Amino acid sequence: MTAVAELMDYAEVIERFDPVLGLEVHVELNTNTKMFCGCVNEFGGEPNTKTCPTCLGLPGSLPVVNGKAVEGAIRIGLALNCEIAEWCRFARKNYFYPDMPKNFQTSQYDEPIAFDGYLDVTLDDGEVVRVEIERAHMEEDTGKSLHVGGATGRIHGAEHSLLDYNRAGVPLIEIVTKPITGTGERAPEVARAYVTALRDLLRALDVSDVRMDQGSLRCDANVSLMAKDATEFGTRTETKNVNSLRSVERAVRYEMTRQAAILAEGGSIRQETRHFQEADGTTSSGRAKETAEDYRYFPEPDLVPIAPSREWVEELRATLPEMPWERRKRIQEEWKLSDEALRDLLNVGAVDLVAATVEAGATPDEARGWWVNTLAQEANTREVELAELAITPAQVAEVIGLVSSGELTNKLAKEVVQGVLAGEGSPREVVEKRGLKVVSDDSALLTAVDEALAAQPDIADKIRGGKVAAAGAIVGAVMKATKGQADAKRVRELIIERVGS
């Protein structure tokens, strides 16, 4: 058993230290085939069915670079405001691990395809932090080990391990930041916001499906602390296994409080990799960090250098889509949103859904109202992402349409949405099945109005005497009588007509 780490109170950490962050993000590209062979590039599947001599490292096999992957790397570099190398090479990173049959990973070392860029990241309160990008380089993914028989799923304590090489050789881009300084107490939030912004950018570029839960987007968080009077960076740890955006924030925060407690007692930080535990939000010690020399990098002799012509780079620049931040700005203007309304929309992750609902015919305000209020609450209760709710933007637009045509009141519309979420069918089907249509037949309403007026003659007199506001009580009675299925506006009109005549 390892001792439970002492942690320093977060406020004290901030008083005594300045955090420094470095984020390494690996993204699997969604190319049709792998990085250096023609095997299909797909998540999962029967183990070891998507392999060939090249990605298994068999003797005599030779790699060929996937042009689409290079294209993706350049587009990512351009979107991150990087320089694109005029000439660069792959290198062999030598080490043994069973998930890597060649005994080296084909990667890039001191000649990355893209370098010296930046990404502007917007925090929850609207503050913008510029994160500088050191490099984005191409490499290949490893296979997957499955450690069987242990309690943790890790190799320690396992009885045996199984290997699946389907993922071996999948194109990977590693994006590395320069040290991020000066963020103080917001360091954990900056880390999450950066990975979020990067994910949104990669999604807009359509180069990856960016699923952190499936490992197509992975983040390693380097954290160190500097005492307030220090002039040099402290020793960093690199936390791996950070599988969600929220975990990025938690892992950084945890490391800050753990390292501070050690440093405050005169201890020193070991440069090591650490593992994040989702369950309790702690990190645990991994292996001591090796240095670049340990890997015996050397240029890959089986692959030609990559020399993207400037014409090609400019062609690719022209393919860049509208960037997420540009889109946000445009949407804010088009939908006339306050900064706060835009933030609410972003915080619940509703931009795409609202846009699709508008596309399907709703007004931006109506669409926003449903997604940001009613549906965000539903997602919250069900503990799922908004996009995972069992209702489509087209269905939300249909409900909105039924309200504007007077077929549903807002109250009934909410019931219809409940029905759709419960899997009872499309909005119209739910209206039919649950019998939720507004009573729009005037003669039926008039009967209810007459009954309500007869039941409360004093109120009828008041209305007759000019106190139109008193009609509210009668409207209420009619709504009750029709089980909420009447259009309140029409009821009010009928009451005034009736009393006046």
- Rule CB under 5 A: which residues touch Mg ion? 24
Q: Which does 224 bind (CB under 5 to 8 A by kind): Zn ion, ligand ADP, Mg ion, none?
A: ligand ADP
The edge-to-edge listing of strands for the beta sheet with 217-227 is 83-84, 114-122, 128-140, 171-177, 17-28, 217-227, 237-242, 272-277, 282-288
Q: Which does 233 bind (CB under 5 to 8 A by kind): Zn ion, Mg ion, ligand ADP, none?
A: ligand ADP
Site string for ligand ADP, 117-156 (x = CB under 6 A): -----------------x----------------------
Which residue in the block uniquely carries the two structure tokens 């990173």?
93
The closest residue (CB) to ligand ADP is 22
CB 453 within 8 A of CB 460: yes
Contacting residues for 302 by C-beta, under 8 A, at least 6 apart = 62, 63
Three-state helix/strand/coil letters over 266-306:
CCCCCCEEEEEECCCCEEEEEEECCCHHHHCCEECCCCCCE
CB of 33 to Zn ion, least distance (A): 8
Q: Which does 39 bind (CB under 5 to 8 A by kind): Zn ion, ligand ADP, Mg ion, none?
A: Zn ion
CB of 305 to Zn ion, least distance (A): 22
Alpha carbon 346 to chain centroid, angstroms: 11
- Return the SS3 of 2: coil
| C-alpha–C-alpha distance, residues 260 and 191, integer Å | 18
Is residue 179 a contact point for ligand ADP (CB under 6 A)?
A: yes
Q: Which does 52 bind (CB under 5 to 8 A by kind): Mg ion, ligand ADP, Zn ion, none?
A: Zn ion
CB of 63 to Zn ion, least distance (A): 9
Q: Cα separations (Å) of 263 from 71, 249, 266, 470? A: 45, 21, 5, 72
Is residue 39 a contact point for Zn ion (CB under 5 A)?
A: yes
CB of 222 to Mg ion, least distance (A): 9
CB of 238 to Mg ion, least distance (A): 8
Residue range at the interface with ligand ADP (CB under 6 A); choices 153-161, 205-213, 231-239, 486-494? 231-239
Which residue in the block uniquely carries the two structure tokens 């570029």?
205
Is residue 41 a contact point for ligand ADP (CB under 6 A)?
A: no
Q: How many residues bind to ligand ADP according to rule CB under 6 A?
A: 17
Nearer to ligand ADP (CB atom), residue 22 or residue 324:
22
Is residue 184 a contact point for ligand ADP (CB under 6 A)?
A: no
Residue from the set 43, 118, 233, 297 that interacts with ligand ADP by CB under 6 A: 233
Nearer to Zn ion (CB atom), residue 37 or residue 400:
37
CB 367 within 8 A of CB 373: no
Nearer to Mg ion (CB atom), residue 24 or residue 278:
24
Alpha carbon 267 to chain centroid, angstroms: 37
Residue range at the interface with ligand ADP (CB under 6 A); choices 147-155, 198-206, 232-240, 367-375? 232-240
User: Scanning residues 43 to 72, which ones bind Zn ion (CB under 5 A)?
Assistant: 52, 54-55
What are 313's strand-pairing partners? none
13-18 contacts, C-beta under 8 A, 24 or more apart: 13/225, 13/256, 13/257, 13/260, 14/184, 14/185, 16/227, 16/228, 16/260, 16/264, 17/225, 17/226, 17/227, 17/228, 17/256, 17/260, 17/263, 18/181, 18/182, 18/184, 18/225, 18/226, 18/228
Number of Cβ within 10 Å of residue 440's Cβ equals 13
Q: Please, what is the end-to-end C-alpha distance for the chain in angstroms? A: 87
CB of 207 to Zn ion, least distance (A): 20
Q: Report which DSSP code applies to 98.
A: T
Q: Which of 377, 372, 370 is nearest to 395 (CA)?
A: 370
User: Scanning residues 461 to 500, which ones bind ligand ADP (CB under 6 A)?
Assistant: none
DSSP assignment string, 372-415: IIIIHHHHHHHTS-GGGSS--HHHHHHHHHHHHTTSS-HHHHHH
CB of 389 to Mg ion, least distance (A): 37
Q: 312: which 2 tokens?
A: 């090609």
Residue range at the interface with ligand ADP (CB under 6 A); choices 170-178, 318-326, 386-394, 436-444? 170-178
Q: Which does 299 bind (CB under 5 to 8 A by kind): ligand ADP, Mg ion, Zn ion, none?
A: none
User: Scanning residues 3 to 32, which ones bind ligand ADP (CB under 6 A)?
Assistant: 20-24
CB of 14 to Mg ion, least distance (A): 27
Which uninterrupted H or E stretch holds 224? strand 217-227
Nearer to ligand ADP (CB atom), residue 73 or residue 353:
73
Residue from the set 177, 259, 282, 409 that interacts with ligand ADP by CB under 6 A: 177
Residue from the set 224, 241, 243, 395 that interacts with ligand ADP by CB under 6 A: 224
- Return the SS3 of 193: helix
Is residue 236 a contact point for ligand ADP (CB under 6 A)?
A: yes
Nearer to Zn ion (CB atom), residue 31 or residue 409:
31
- Strand 114-122 and strand 128-140: the pairing is antiparallel
Residues that bind Zn ion (CB under 5 A): 37, 39, 52, 54-55
Query: Which residues contribute to the site for ligand ADP (CB under 6 A)?
Result: 20-24, 134, 176-179, 222-224, 233-234, 236, 238
